[in-house]
Amino acid sequence: MNYLWSKNIEKSFLANIYLGIFKWDMVKAFPEQSASEKEIGDKFCERIDQILNENVKKEDIEDTGMLPARYLKLITEEGFTRLQLPKEYDGHELSHYNTFRILQTAIRNCFPAGFTLATHNAFGAGSILSALPEGYLKDYISEELRNGGFSGWADTEPTGAANRLVSTTATLCEDGEHYIINGRKVYIANGSIADILIVSTTVTKEDGTDEGCLFIVDTKNQGFSVDKVHDLMGLRGFPIAALNFNNVKVHKNKMVSMKEGHWRDTFLLEPISALGRMFSLTSASLAVSKKCLTWMKDFCNRKKINGISLGEYEEIQRKISQTAAEIFAMESVIKWGIINIDFENLADRWWELFSTKNITTLFANHIADRTIAVFGAEGYEKAQSKKEIGYSAIELEQVFRDIRGLRISGGVDFQIDNRSTQLWLEAFYYNSDFDIDVVKNNFGVAEEIVKEAQNLSSLNKEHLIKVNDEVVKLGNHIKYLVKSFDKEELFAKQRIMILTNKIVREIYLISCCLSRTNAANKELANDYNMLTETYCIDSLQKIQSYWHQLDCELQQENKNPFNILGNRILDGDLDTIVLENI
């Protein structure tokens, strides 16, 4: 993260939120996909569904832990592995939104099969093409993909993905032409089927400085090996593997060139990685959430308790409506995030896309958990076993296991919230000459905005006024933090960082729901208003609870009992009290 981001602030709705400025103008023109673009996407969605229906049996994948070879062959032959590649490389040049829709359709049909395809399009070597200059490497990757190659991004190592510099090294040979790569990567999606991989390495320069560099590695190269395919809690059949790089020789023209000392600091690679999370983690989250709501709806309509349909009980209705409102909210940030966005203006949406990973994966996990609760014991039983006793053989238990991994992939959720606030503070306060006093007390200014928001119900107009006030409160909170603590002191207060970002996430969600509803046509406006009202009520309650927690945290100063107790437990001081059997 570097100063470049601070130059981008004007273009980011979310960045302005951190500043306490609610830019309704930036969000109010809610985008919808054009009919012609939708028609193109529809055809691909239909076809991928057909390929999956005809060639993939979920039970077989659960049994064998393998994806059918015919499925992998068909998706490469028909270019589903080249959804965004230029036509000259047999790609389909699809928009971000159509790409998202196709991957969501595939995952909804069969999670591991669809997720493999999503990972390839999201994090495969093709994903970084727009960040590469014209020339050899770009042509090489495109050609490999045209020839049917599968791909992934190998970053995580046994030492932990959170380390800024990886332990895998790339050392320049004496010939000055090649690098030798040594190291081990773990949990690499598509690692066991990949033909080419993006591999993160540390390169030590002549002056002794370390740089974080990416290479494109051909898995046929000598010294590369798949150590093992991980057997995960879920996602059975997903080709995720531990990989060894033992003196793998790579020509220097396979190194991704960059001016900065670390690939994470380059202008486009982080936004591309955030977009990749949308294509894989977010599309999976939306697919699963919709599946769960469908299952809940069927179950509640057929099940009776004490002669009364389950769907007539108040708490059940609440669970259903909350799920529907969360799906609507997820879709609102997805649509606002990627419709009409291309690689040219992708960086403008970096904050929003980065934030969407946590928003959607957490919702999907809560929704899957809620669905199990509604189903009772039936929700906890495996599909085959349910079939044997005559229940509907839905794979809810499997989905529950599958979806948990998405809160880890691409970064563990709490750590993403923590880093989000830190990154923002670094970019705008600590690494720039930004004037914190720009934060003003613009409470109530949304009363003017509301006059233009013709389509909103009166309750949603109130929500619009409230969300502006929450944004202003947030700006003042950040102002207080940066004036009260220096960077190290503040960043050590991780719970404060996390809670702050949770508020930002909710504000973003509310804003997109309100904008989408206000922009809706007359036919949809009533239903959209209802979904938005429901979401906002829930969300504003969450925000109040986060403020309360923040107040408590700030009052604790350095005597926070959680930290004191945590340290003592790790030191073993309380073992007899908390660890011994009673």
User: Of 29 and 162, which has the nearer Cβ to ligand FAD?
Assistant: 162
CB of 286 to ligand FAD, least distance (A): 17
d(CA 342, CA 344): 5
d(CA 364, CA 31): 24
Site for ligand FAD in 100-129 (CB under 6 A): 123
State which residue has the least CB distance to ligand FAD.
160
415 binds ligand FAD (CB under 6 A): yes
Stretch that binds ligand FAD, among 95-103, 126-134, 295-303, 407-415 (CB under 6 A): 407-415
Site for ligand FAD in 439-478 (CB under 6 A): none
Q: Which of 188, 214, 272, 394 binds ligand FAD (CB under 6 A)?
A: 188
d(CA 107, CA 357): 16
Q: Which of 44, 100, 140, 153 binds ligand FAD (CB under 6 A)?
A: 153
Site for ligand FAD in 247-286 (CB under 6 A): none
d(CA 498, CA 419): 8
569 binds ligand FAD (CB under 6 A): no
237 binds ligand FAD (CB under 6 A): no
Stretch that binds ligand FAD, among 149-157, 207-215, 332-340, 381-389 (CB under 6 A): 149-157
491 binds ligand FAD (CB under 6 A): no
Q: Which of 16, 55, 156, 219 binds ligand FAD (CB under 6 A)?
A: 156
Stretch that binds ligand FAD, among 157-165, 369-377, 470-478, 548-556 (CB under 6 A): 157-165
> Counting Cβ atoms within 10 Å, is residue 232 exposed (0-12), middle (13-18) or buried (19+)?
middle
- The H helix count followed by the E strand count for the chain is 24, 9
User: Of 66 and 162, which has the nearer Cβ to ligand FAD?
Assistant: 162
For the beta carbon of residue 560, count every other beta carbon within 10 angstroms.
Answer: 15
CB of 415 to ligand FAD, least distance (A): 4
- Minimal CA–CA distance to 474: which of 501, 447, 495? 501
187 binds ligand FAD (CB under 6 A): yes
The strand pair at 210-218 and 151-154 is best described as unpaired
Which tokens go with 409? Answer: 């992939």
244 binds ligand FAD (CB under 6 A): no
CB of 16 to ligand FAD, least distance (A): 27
The strand pair at 196-204 and 178-189 is best described as unpaired
Count of alpha carbons within 13 angstroms of residue 460, beta-carbon side: 26
CB of 556 to ligand FAD, least distance (A): 18
d(CA 431, CA 427): 5
CB of 420 to ligand FAD, least distance (A): 13
408 binds ligand FAD (CB under 6 A): yes
155 binds ligand FAD (CB under 6 A): yes
d(CA 122, CA 284): 12
Q: Which of 189, 320, 456, 520 binds ligand FAD (CB under 6 A)?
A: 189
Are 479 and 439 in contact by the 8 Å Cβ rule? The answer is yes
The rounded Cα 355 to chain-centroid distance in angstroms is 7
Which tokens go with 480? Answer: 């207080």
Q: Which of 29, 66, 162, 552 binds ligand FAD (CB under 6 A)?
A: 162
**Cα 390 to Cα 143, 192, 292, 394, 399, distances in angstroms:** 51, 38, 20, 12, 20
Q: Which of 33, 285, 409, 501 binds ligand FAD (CB under 6 A)?
A: 409
Beta bridge partner(s), residue 214: 200
User: Of 4 and 229, which has the nearer Cβ to ligand FAD?
Assistant: 229
The rounded Cα 190 to chain-centroid distance in angstroms is 18
What's the CA angle centered on 137, arms 131 and 143, to 5 degrees? 105
SS3 318: helix
CB of 233 to ligand FAD, least distance (A): 9
d(CA 371, CA 285): 14
Stretch that binds ligand FAD, among 63-71, 147-155, 331-339, 352-360 (CB under 6 A): 147-155
CB of 411 to ligand FAD, least distance (A): 5
Q: Which of 83, 94, 131, 154 binds ligand FAD (CB under 6 A)?
A: 154
What's the CA angle centered on 427, arms 413 and 281, to 5 degrees? 30
Which tokens go with 436? Answer: 């914190």
SS3 509: helix
410 binds ligand FAD (CB under 6 A): yes
Count of alpha carbons within 13 angstroms of residue 243, beta-carbon side: 36
For the beta carbon of residue 416, count every other beta carbon within 10 angstroms.
Answer: 20
Stretch that binds ligand FAD, among 347-355, 375-383, 401-409, 507-515 (CB under 6 A): 401-409
CB of 192 to ligand FAD, least distance (A): 12
CB of 249 to ligand FAD, least distance (A): 22
- Number of residues forming the site for ligand FAD (CB under 6 A): 21
245 binds ligand FAD (CB under 6 A): no
For the beta carbon of residue 426, count every other beta carbon within 10 angstroms.
Answer: 19
Are 278 and 102 in contact by the 8 Å Cβ rule? The answer is no
SS3 218: strand
User: Of 188 and 324, which has the nearer Cβ to ligand FAD?
Assistant: 188
Site for ligand FAD in 318-357 (CB under 6 A): none
Q: Which of 393, 412, 445, 554 binds ligand FAD (CB under 6 A)?
A: 412
CB of 521 to ligand FAD, least distance (A): 39
167 binds ligand FAD (CB under 6 A): no
Applying CB under 6 A, which residues contact ligand FAD? 123, 152-156, 160-162, 187-189, 235, 240, 405, 408-412, 415
